[in-house]
Structure 1
Amino acid sequence: MPSPNIAGTQRGYVIPIGGAEEKLDNPEILAKFVALCGGEDGVITVIPTASQLDDTGARYQKIFDDIGVKKSFSLPITERADAQNPSYVKTLEKSTGIFVTGGNQLRLSTILGGTPIARAIRQLNAQGVHYAGTSAGAAIVSQHMITGGNTGIVPTEDGVNLAPGMGLINTIVVDQHFNQRNRLARLLSAVSYNPFLIGIGLDEDTAAFIDHNNVFTTVGSGAITVVDPSDIEYSSMAEARTGDALTLLNVKLHILASGGRFDISERKAYVK
């Protein structure tokens, strides 16, 4: 469950990004995140744990510096012992924004899960600090995190692999690189397990800016695919055998390009 809000405060934005966001010519998504975090007065902490490249944190610090942020940090968390470091928690507590990079989302869950760093991220977001994550950093915002699955359109009984995520929002399940990697089947498979979940498929260079009211706005050059199973009439998941195609009746699907909005609580899409 998400951390409870502190009385008199609003939860910070939760911003899952579909990966491959524009970083140089027109970094619309990153610039909007920086503006929310206070612009040049913002303090952004980068967590590059999902990546196995040594320079990932420094590269994002340089990107945020070029956008105009005067103060940024990168936490070199590469193993669980690092995520217990009190000094890293203190650095996080200085932040107005937290940015989690792409890579392998299982590195995020296995290294950060249940640690003081993970608890601090959840608590700080509940207190108003904004969270943005790209690719793996987007997948982990869900309570149920997609870690793999089948490509294509038709969902199957074994079409998705799930693991516990960070749970910043517990009513959605997020997939990334969505259109570019043909991932509709695995998102449909994920929501077929439990119609409580809303599936959000993020194209590359596309983000959902989810506000404290659980309404998101699409930002970027692609689109967001929303799979809403709340009115589903029938799912064959319970009877299906391994590898079987699924029957799903009355599943809603929305495609939201830049400016499109969706109310997660009310399960309603809007055009700007």
Structure 2
Amino acid sequence: MPSPDIKGQQRGFVIPIGGAEEKIDNPEILKKFVELCGGSEADICIVPTASQLEDTGERYQKLFTDLGAGNTHWLPISDRNDAKKEEYVTQLEGCTGIFITGGNQLRLSTILGGTPIAQTIRKLNAQGVHVAGTSAGAAIVSQHMITGGNTGIVPTEDGVNLAPGLGLINTIVVDQHFNERNRLSRLLSAVSYNPFLLGLGLDEDTAAFIDGDNEFTVVGSGAITVIDPSDIEHSSMAEARSGDALTLLNLKLHILANGSRYNINDRKAFIE
């Protein structure tokens, strides 16, 4: 299920970022996130769990501070016991924005999945707190999380590995470092399982700012590839053997660059 609706409240933005976001010369994505969270009044909590680098939390803390965030802090969550600590939950509950760093998405799912920290992130997003994630942090925002798969163009029966994500949105599946790592085949494989899912392939330094009405704006220097299987006429996934190429008929694909918009509910792309 997506973050539960709360009567009278608008869900916070969900912001998957394709990784390698610009941090120095023109940090457009990070700057927009800070402004959205309140600028000088922002309280941003960083979750660096996916990364195994000791300084990841501190580096993003400095970045957000330099971009004008009023208060920044990070949670040193490295195992499931950490993800159950009441003091970390309390720190989350006071924030206006949550940022999940890159690294290994299976570290995120195995450490955070089902814990008070994961439950609190979902609750806060439903209450209006904005949640951004880069690279692995982008993959986990959806209910179905891509954890690996084949590179290339042609989808195959065994072309993608999936695991449960945070479920902030349940109608999309996100892939990151998309064109840079040639990941079209694995995103096509993911949406071939069920046309309910919309595939979002995010290039590096590119983000989808998804608002509470499930409409997003593209921000960044790359593009977002949207794969819409809602009108698919046939998928051979059910009959395919391991390694077989898939037949997918009547898929719709959009390439959306900076400033383009897309309504997830209506499955419609448009420009300003």
Give the alignment's TM-score, normalised by structure 1.
Answer: 0.99
Q: Which residue of 2 aligns with 1:220?
A: 220
Could you tell me which amino acid in structure 2 is paired with residue 80 of structure 1?
Answer: R
| Count of paired positions | 272
Counterpart residue identity of residue 262, structure 1: Y
1:83 is paired with a residue whose SS is helix
- Answering whether residue 54 of structure 2 is matched by residue 54 of structure 1, we say yes
1:156 corresponds to: 156
In structure 2, distance between residues paired with 1:70 and 1:13: 19
TM-fit CA distance, 1:14? 0.1
Report the Cα offset of residue 5 of structure 1.
2.0
- How far is the alpha carbon of 1:6 from its aligned partner? 1.8
Q: Are the aligned partners of 2:5 and 2:126 in contact in 1 as well (CA < 8 Å)?
A: yes
The corresponding residue for 1:69 is: 69
Indicate conservation of the 8 Å contact 2:3/2:169, yes or no. no
- Partner of 1:230, secondary structure, is coil
Segments of 5+ residues of structure 1 without an aligned counterpart are none
Encode CA deviations 1:245-269: one digit per residue, 9 max, x unaligned: 0000000000000011110000011
Give 1:266's aligned amino acid.
D
Residue 165 of structure 1 corresponds to 165
Q: Could you say what secondary structure the match of 1:231 adopts?
A: coil
3-state SS of 1:57 partner: helix
Shift of 1:207: 0.0
Residue 199 of structure 2 is matched in structure 1 by 199
Query: 1:59-97: per-residue Cα shift (whole Å, max 9, x none)?
Result: 000000110112111000000000000000000001000
Cα separation, 2, equivalents of 1:70 and 1:95: 11
Written as runs of structure 1 = structure 2, the 5 A alignment for 1:1-272 is 1-272=1-272
| Runs of 4+ deviating beyond 6 Å | none
The share of aligned pairs that are identical, in percent, is: 77
Distance 1:53 1:254 in 2: 36
Residue 216 of structure 1 aligns with an amino acid whose one-letter code is F
> How far does the alpha carbon of each residue in 1:217-236 deviate from its partner, in whole angstroms, 9 at most, with x for none?
00000000000000000111
TM-score (norm 2): 0.99
AA paired with 1:243? G
Q: Partner letter of residue 117 of structure 2?
A: I
* Residue 4 (structure 1) shift: 1.6
SS for the counterpart of 2:99 is strand
Deviation at 1:179, TM superposition (A): 0.5
Partners of 1:149 and 1:89 lie apart in 2 by 33
